[in-house]
A and B are shown apart, each in its own frame.
Chain A
């Protein structure tokens, strides 16, 4: 069924290739844009990743495999089809993917049972308890990481202050299956150590965190130490960020593209920043957290960002036809060559050239496209299409050597 839907959007041959051009503005420095034959990185901080559609054949999502263990034990479960998401923070695993692995609540965490509700822009949400686990990726181990167990059937439904399900005739909004999630888990490796941060440690009514007991669930303020955490930040070393490195893909797309996730920035030879340019992102609620500015066709969009969890380039352009009103992918009559200028909060800037193909003309059996794009009127979302042929650094605020969170390439 899913395949059918995708084929509606993504059919036969594709078009021009997304390429970066150097030049650009005040940032000076380099670009990284066009990558030659990538040097295969090696080391215990290197994890293979693949843009291969995952279990639901969704184009332009990136997956890997990790191991999740009961804290301080050798009881582990391998979890494959884990979605790599630089647009969120924290590991969220479907309960059904844990194979019965027992994970405990962090000692001292609010309770009696501690849980979280995470909203998504389409109105869906992930609900479930927050537990600790040892998370193993490549040769790295993050110990006692607070993670979210999504759709734990023993945990009940989300409480009213979060999202209610008061309309019995509507489609359930809870993310409760591999199909709904697109994988078995989301590995959020964005620019922050915790998912919510200060807002949730200072506000009781933060809408995210709940203490649940026999009388139901109530919102609570939660110290950052108990909040769901970016596992990378809890690695003993190589814990200040991550590189997503993927080879280029031709304008016709590819069935799958394999690359690497490399942990740490400037902590060893294989993760040196080199001549990449840093574009700092906002680091607090008052500075548009995680965001840069993108200037597209003369207009500055301040809530723009890089996000491997978005599967295209989404931006505001009413002149490009969309495929149909169910989706937002673009379907121009012929491939478009466009450009936009990114501007970091440090004013480093770069003009990026990219192409947008007709989504319906792309090969339905392929999963990796540099030229898949769609409409959004509020900002510029540099999703997976942007990541091909690049080595993109995502630095975590507050970690060693990171004075301000940034994306670099």
Chain B
């Protein structure tokens, strides 16, 4: 499940920049700086996966379409990444849903399924993993199974 994507194209070291979900890859450098992370990027199936590896051992993969938009993120590691940072403009929607969810008495993995926002988050201390994507931003050839 948690396998890294099989990266078809060459792995390149990239000085590149990062973006939150729905954001533009060329406009935001905040993630890498905030996470103090190593970055690498690889192209596959018409999109590019930028992988950040944080000092704390969390891998965050951001999926960037040819149009430069981040359409998905995935993470795994001993800690949670900051979803406020990674979900960007989608965070308020996520956070409001989570607040409702806590009040509704749901204690368990997160499987948010809004029309245009999917967030799955699981784990406990020492082992977290999850993913988020925006269905309308998915390139036509990409299936959700590829986001991991």
Contact = CB atoms under 8 A, between A and B. Distances in A.
Interface of A: 1-2, 5-6, 8-9, 56-61, 87-89, 118-124, 163-164, 166-167, 169-171, 173, 179-180, 182, 190, 192, 195-197, 199, 203-208, 282, 285, 288-291, 300-303, 305, 307, 309-312, 314, 322, 325-329, 374-379, 381, 383
Nearest to A191: B126
B125 A124 contact: no
B84 A381 contact: no
Given A5-B100, A122-B101, A325-B113, A310 B107 contact: yes
Contact of A87 (B102, B114, B124): B124
B130 interface: yes
Interface in B91-106: 91-92, 94-106
B106 A311 contact: yes
Contact of B82 (A163, A204, A311, A374): A163
A124 B98 contact: yes
Given A57-B105, A122-B98, A303-B2, A377 B120 contact: yes
B139 interface: no
A120 B83 CA distance: 11
A285 B125 CA distance: 11
Contacts of A122: 98, 101-102, 110, 121
B83 A205 contact: no
16 contacts: A5-B105, A88-B125, A122-B98, A171-B98, A179-B103, A204-B55, A207-B54, A302-B1, A307-B124, A312-B108, A326-B97, A326-B104, A327-B101, A328-B101, A376-B122, A379-B122
Given A121-B110, A190-B124, A285 B94 contact: no
Given A123-B80, A285-B126, 10 more contacts: A58-B107, A123-B94, A170-B92, A291-B127, A300-B1, A311-B105, A311-B108, A326-B100, A327-B106, A378-B130
A199 B55 CA distance: 10
A192 B113 CA distance: 33
The 8 closest A-B pairs by CB, nearest first: A376-B109, A119-B80, A205-B55, A58-B105, A310-B108, A5-B104, A289-B126, A122-B98
